[in-house]
A and B are shown apart, each in its own frame.
Chain A
Amino acid sequence: MARKLLLEHINVSGINTLDVYRQNGGYRAVEKAVKTLSPENVLEEVKTSGLRGRGGAGFPTGMKWSFLAKPEGVPRYLVCNADESEPGTFKDRYLMTYIPHLLIEGMIISSYALGANVSYIYVRGEMMPQIRILEKAIAEAKNAGFLGKNILGSGYDLELYVQPGGGAYICGEETALIESLEGKRGNPRIKPPFPAISGLYNCPTVVNNVETIAATVSIINDGGEEYSKIGLGRSTGTKLISASGNLNKPGVYEIELGLPVEEFIYSDEYCGGIANGKRLKAVVAGGSSVPILPANLILKTINNQPRLMSYESLADGGFASGTMLGSGGFIAFDEDQCIVRNTWNFSRFYHHESCGQCSPCREGTGWMEKVLHRLEYGHGKMSDIDLLVDVAKKIEGNTICPLGDAAAWPVASAIRHFRDEFEWHVTHAKEAMERNYGLAHYADPLPAVEAVSN
């Protein structure tokens, strides 16, 4: 069994309560931090650990924290990003539902390191049950002296609040999240200034993902050095993977970074293979925004090396033949899925979620949705395929926030790897309405399962 740092105690009954959480070693890291470490020590441990942001971009957390401006007399804020709206991603919901105190504990340590005395957890509004769970956990922690004034006699004060969103994917983008937390529309801000200089209420602010913050607990307990030994190369530690789509055992798994993709998909410890004895056609490995890869390229890199679940290995080959770890939203497509239909579905999503501030994103996502719709519904032209590539190119890099890129990449990569399937939708429009294209040359290199047991 692989090392578990986040979900080690997830199956202990009552782990969502403070008492059981403490019986299993909970809040030791808070004691250690506020009683024996300075904020700078905590920052050093996080730097040493090599922890990278788990929200999608993978930016080193220690470095991000060290950018935080510290002008005299100005409050600083830590805001936890629990907006979790990237299609395919559902790990933060899982963590908050079953082991909420891990996030609260991480928030206390991280706020202490950053010198924040008020911190917020911004949870997407649809997670009302999780908001209630967190509020209860916060009340328990406060009662036990882990929050509020003079935490454990250390002289450090922290208030922690939960803020609901209103249903908007764009509020996961950190500056849109800050706008939303200020009671405004979730329009991303133009950077610079970066939140580290001017964020919430124009004060220095750090925004971190739920999983990033939860990971600081074991970093403080065992030391950054220990954490950095887990994983592979610059992909240190463990990562929560949300596995969905056509898998035997979809769900949230904690993996050591560096696990082979093949093992993750097929072994019984993880996803247990493709559902219904079917074969794998494609995978979106890091949430809907990252490039889709056909089965052959997700299992092996272009150089015929086994593909691993790490930041570097998934990106091996660049966008020509690789993808990204992103948020760890691992979506598996079996041989009966239609790539054109899924690409249309994703582009409808991005069009719906575009905040509309930049014309390339607002107009471009609308165009892509429309053109993909007509391809899927049998009215497409051959020239539409290049038109899509062209529109995607015009969006990429020309917008205020990365949602534009996130909308362009799935379309560009689907056409790059599955062009024949798009063409077939034009040449065999009628047939394409009745059946799916199948596996074709990007076939699952693994042999088909011969005997499907009943």
Chain B
Amino acid sequence: MLSISKSEEVIFTPELISQFNEIVSRYPEGKSKSALLPILHLVQAEFGWVSSEAMDKVAAYLNIQPIEVYEVATFYTMFFLKPQGKYVLEVCRTGPCCLVGAEKIMKYIEEKLQVKEGQVTEDGLFSWRGVECLAACGMAPVLQIGPEYTFYENLTESKIDELVENLKLTTADKPAQNS
């Protein structure tokens, strides 16, 4: 069963609201519900995941029922319904990537981070999961990291080492604002 976690109070800043307004302006009169997916992406980029409080606020903003937001957020795999690591390594696990070693890469990540798929490391920095074909099969194996969905291609174990170390350093330089 899908479950949606609760969070602390969610505040949409005026900057965020003005981004919402710009998005709504892309659709015809009365069709602002079309803004739902882009808005959920912005919410997730801001808070790291999509809580039920955040969804209620999105519903209020778009003037739709909260259930209309829940049913959408639970349908699409990109939205995290509970808190994740600061960096979520999303590794492609579909056929073409497996032909050139994606399964080994996932195993290596699991051992390196010492957490199972979907769990968060103790320092709160990392989680990982397998995802379906990322339309990059020619550069396999691949992984992506949100919220900008930066791509890492032709993965090897040493590339994973390097990536994880770099992300740790980046975080040490600039402490996260929302953790």
- The interface residues of chain A lying within 8 Å CB-to-CB of B138 are 90, 242-244, 250-252
A174: CB under 8 A from chain B?
no
Contact call A129/B34, Cβ cutoff below 8 A: no
CA distance A186 to B96 in the complex (A): 25
**Residue-wise interface mask of B (90-108) relative to A, using a CB-CB cutoff of 8 A (1 in contact, 0 not):** 0001111011100000000
Size bracket, chain A contacts? 35 or more
Q: Binary interface profile of A, 60-88, with partner B (CB < 8 Å = 1, else 0)?
A: 00000000000000010000000011111
Q: How many A-B residue pairs have CB under 8 A?
A: 151
In the complex, per-residue mask of B107-144: 1 if CB is within 8 Å of any chain A CB, else 0: 00000000000000000000000011111111110001
Quick check: A167 and B77 within 8 Å, CB to CB?
yes
Contacts of A341 in B (CB 8 A): 98
Tell me the complex Cα distance, A87–B31, Å: 32
- Please pick, from A85, A186, A342, the residue contacting B133 in the complex, using a CB distance under 8 A: A85
Flag if A126 contacts B144 (CB, 8 Å): yes
Which residues from 133 to 167 on chain A have a C-beta closer than 8 Å to any C-beta of chain B? Answer: 159, 161, 163-167
Contact assessment for A346 and B95 in the assembled complex, using a CB-CB cutoff below 8 Å? yes
B95 and A164 contacting across the interface, CB-CB below 8 Å: no
- CB distance A87 to B132 under 8 Å? yes
Chain B residue contacts of A127, Cβ below 8 A:
135, 149
**B75–A163 contact, CB under 8 A?**
no
Q: Which residue on chain B has the smallest CB distance to residue A169?
A: B132
Q: How far is the CA of A300 from the CA of B99 in the complex (A)?
A: 24
A288 at the interface (CB under 8 A from B): yes
Partner of A166, one of B34, B35, B78: B78
Mark B145-166 against chain A: 1 for CB-CB distance below 8 A, else 0.
Answer: 0111111000000000000000
Contacts of B31 in A (CB 8 A): 182, 201
Q: Which residues of B contact A345 (CB under 8 A)?
A: 93-95, 98
| Among B35, B93, B99, residue most surrounded by chain A Cβ atoms (within 10 Å) | B99
A17 at the interface (CB under 8 A from B): no
Q: Does B72 contact A (CB under 8 A)?
A: yes
Answer whether residue B26 sits at the interface, using C-beta atoms and an 8 A cutoff: yes
CB of B137 within 8 A of CB of A167, answer no
- For B98, the chain A residues whose CB sits under 8 A away are 341-342, 345
| Complex-state Cα separation, A165 to B76, whole angstroms | 8
CB-CB under 8 A from B132, the residues of chain A are 85, 87, 169, 349, 352-353
If A128-B149, A164-B38, A183-B33 touch, whether A87 touches B95 (CB-CB below 8 Å) is yes
Q: Is residue A245 contacting chain B, with contact meaning CB distance below 8 A?
A: yes
Q: Which A residues are CB-close (under 8 A) to B95?
A: 87-88, 288, 331, 342, 345-346, 349
Question: Which residues on A sit within 8 Å (CB–CB) of B68?
Answer: 183-184
A185 in contact with B71 (CB, 8 Å)? yes
Residues of A contacting B71 in the complex (Cβ-Cβ under 8 angstroms) = 185
**With the chains together, A185 CA to B78 CA distance in Å?**
13
Chain B residues, CB < 8 A from A244:
96, 99, 137-138, 140
Complex Cα–Cα for A429 and B35 (A): 52
CB 8 Å contact bits of B27-40 with A (1 = contact, 0 = none): 01001011111101
| Chain A hits for B94, CB < 8 A | 87, 288, 345-346, 349
The reply to whether B37 and A165 contact each other, CB–CB distance below 8 Å, is: yes
B12 to chain A, nearest CB (A): 18
Q: Which of A86, A90, A183 has the most CB of B within 10 A?
A: A183
Among B133, B136, B138, B139, chain A packs the most CB atoms within 10 A around the CB of B138
Query: Which of A166, A329, A352 touches B75 (beta carbons < 8 Å)?
Result: A166
Q: What are the residues of chain B within 8 A of A125 when measuring CB–CB?
A: 37, 41, 76, 78, 149
Contact residues, A334-353 vs B (CB, 8 A):
334, 337, 341-342, 345-346, 349, 352-353
Q: A288 contacts which chain B residues (CB < 8 A)?
A: 94-95, 133
Interface centre among A75, A161, A246 (most CB of B within 10 A): A161
* B residues less than 8 Å from A126 (CB atoms): 78, 131, 134-135, 144, 149
The chain B residues found within 8 Å of chain A, CB to CB, are 26, 28, 31, 33-38, 40-41, 68, 71-72, 75-79, 93-96, 98-100, 131-140, 144, 146-151
The 6 nearest A-B residue pairs measured at CB = A166-B76, A167-B78, A244-B137, A183-B36, A183-B33, A167-B77
- Residue pairs across A and B with Cβ atoms less than 8 A apart, 24 shown, are A87-B94, A87-B96, A87-B132, A88-B95, A93-B135, A126-B144, A129-B150, A163-B34, A164-B38, A166-B41, A168-B75, A168-B76, A169-B132, A181-B34, A182-B33, A183-B34, A183-B72, A184-B72, A244-B99, A250-B137, A334-B99, A345-B93, A349-B94, A353-B132
